[in-house]
Structure 1
Amino acid sequence: MTGYADDLALAHLLADAADAVSSARFRALDLRVESKPDLTPVSDADTAVERGIRALLAAHRPDDGLLGEEYGEQPPAGPDGRRWVVDPIDGTKNFVRGVPVWATLIALLEHDRPVLGLVSAPALGRRWWGALGAGAFAGTGPADGAPIRVSGVTALADASVCYSSLTGWEQSGRLDAMLQLMRDTWRSRAYGDFYGYMLLAEGALDVMVEPELSLWDVAALVPIVTEAGGRFTDLAGRPAPAGTDSADISAVASNGPLHDDILGRLGRPAER
């Protein structure tokens, strides 16, 4: 692998450090959980993981910027436009309830374009990664990574569709369209967070959609899905992530052949 090989090796190092912290705190009896201003939970594991990643990046990539969910953007992207984006624990609600579907998300952006992504889910014993022009892989780590590829399903009637909670679709004005999509597909499930995108990249399902995300929720997912042969846009059909405001990012990820049909169904909110 060339191009981003050194950055990807560093991403695995960051994930190793993150996994050591998060795994030790998962289902810990003394886990501390607080509510952020937006009323979403944050645990001591979230903050500890991000602090550890920040320390390693400061040592290994001092000229790169960093945006993290818990501590914001510090430092900003440098003159070359490189910036790491980190979600220390994606799926905190799962984490604090003892559900093993959570992960650390690590992305590298160049001039706001995601060029590298890594998702590490230690409670599932699995990691996914991809970099621009280098393909997408999954395994327990880089030593046993195997290439992954999206499915070849071409008809919605044969497709397995994944989505976030229906509450978000209702708030977006697209609930009726989402329910009709669920009726018209072979199977629909709400796996949530990073996991639906990774199952898509592996070919285990065919579509994953979410109406509202933050940059740290989605940046690491884009290179993995697209390098696995999939397509990733927002609901307007723009390359994702098409914005950096927490209320300005949506996601439509698919195996490719189904994408335009999904956009046609979900792209516009219903008139009120």
Structure 2
Amino acid sequence: MARYADDLALAHVLADTADSISTTRFRALDLNVDTKPDLTPVTDADTAVEQAIRSTLARTRPRDGVLGEEFGGGTAPAGRGTRRWVIDPIDGTKNFVRGVPIWATLIALLEDDRPVLGLVSAPALGRRWWAATGHGAYAGRHPTSASPIRVSRVRRLADASLCYSSLTGWEERGRLDGMLDLIRRSWRSRAYGDFYGYMLLAEGAVDAMVEPELSLWDLAALIPIVTEAGGTFTDLAGRPGPGENAVASNGPLHPDLLARLGDPRPATA
């Protein structure tokens, strides 16, 4: 824990700043919404939050790289011996735009391209989750009111609560049949989507979360929280760490999830 104590404290400061901006703009009548080239929405809150976080990191961690959803780039290359902060200023922008309170700022720290710290702050839900390698995973409104979190012990798919983002993405990638089979075999399934399913998994409220297409800023903060809570986080081929898709589980369910939904290609180290 001591190794990342200062970074974790900084992540909370960054989240406090982000929350103060995003909550002011949530449901604002003058919220400015544009469409990015990939046809996803971006608001003035997204850009303001990322700019504020970048400004603080430039002062407090000038040697660290920064990658964000809205401004991309980075001030240091990825690779061995590097530290890089990865920011999603508002994960769940479509919810944010429509006034749905399930959205969050995601803050991650990568060392040698491996996520070692993650923080998810969802101010409209009054909840925050965080973890660092070797520290464990916690949730609460603030570090002073935190509780440790742990994944469930469910071992059978027939007893499991499955979470996913949507069905259209699986259909577009030719995996809809596998996804529907998984839904049918699960005890319960709900499409909470975005960060929230992973946090419910880390808390033990659901048992698995799967998504067909993701970017690094969508995933980086989630991985330490799920794994430090005792869960397993891979891509569809069973490879650990950030990939282009995600299969997250409490651990015992993971082989079954991969067998029914995973990439037919063998996993590689």
Mapped contact 1:64–1:77 kept (Cα < 8 A): no
Percent of pairs with identical residues: 75
In 1, the alpha carbon distance for the partners of 2:211 and 2:112 equals: 24
Coordinate RMSD, CA, aligned: 1.0
In structure 2, the residue matched to 1:251 is 246
In 2, the alpha carbon distance for the partners of 1:172 and 1:143 equals: 44
TM-score by length of 2: 0.96
Mapped contact 1:15–1:120 kept (Cα < 8 A): yes
Mapped contact 2:213–2:246 kept (Cα < 8 A): yes
Alignment of 1:81-160 (within 5 A): 81-160=82-161
Q: CA deviation at 1:73?
A: 1.6
In 2, the alpha carbon distance for the partners of 1:108 and 1:77 equals: 14
In 1, the alpha carbon distance for the partners of 2:220 and 2:181 equals: 28
Aligned residues: 263
SS at match of 1:262: helix
Q: CA deviation at 1:95?
A: 0.1
Structure 1 segments (4+ residues) deviating >2 Å:
76-80
Mapped contact 1:115–1:132 kept (Cα < 8 A): yes
Which AA in structure 2 matches 1:37? P
SS at match of 2:192: coil
In structure 2, the residue matched to 1:185 is 186
In structure 2, the residue matched to 1:57 is 57
Which AA in structure 2 matches 1:164? S
In 1, the alpha carbon distance for the partners of 2:37 and 2:15 equals: 27
In 1, the alpha carbon distance for the partners of 2:121 and 2:10 equals: 13
Q: CA deviation at 1:77?
A: 3.8
SS at match of 2:246: strand
Q: CA deviation at 1:240?
A: 2.2
SS at match of 2:213: strand
TM-score by length of 1: 0.95
* Structure 2 unaligned residues grouped into runs of 5+: 265-269
In 2, the alpha carbon distance for the partners of 1:250 and 1:268 equals: 10
In 2, the alpha carbon distance for the partners of 1:113 and 1:200 equals: 21
* Structure 1 unaligned residues grouped into runs of 5+: 243-248
SS at match of 2:3: coil
Mapped contact 2:116–2:224 kept (Cα < 8 A): yes
Mapped contact 1:116–1:223 kept (Cα < 8 A): yes
Q: CA deviation at 1:76?
A: 2.3
| Residues 1:262 and 2:257 aligned together | yes
In 2, the alpha carbon distance for the partners of 1:64 and 1:240 equals: 20
| Residues 1:236 and 2:237 aligned together | yes
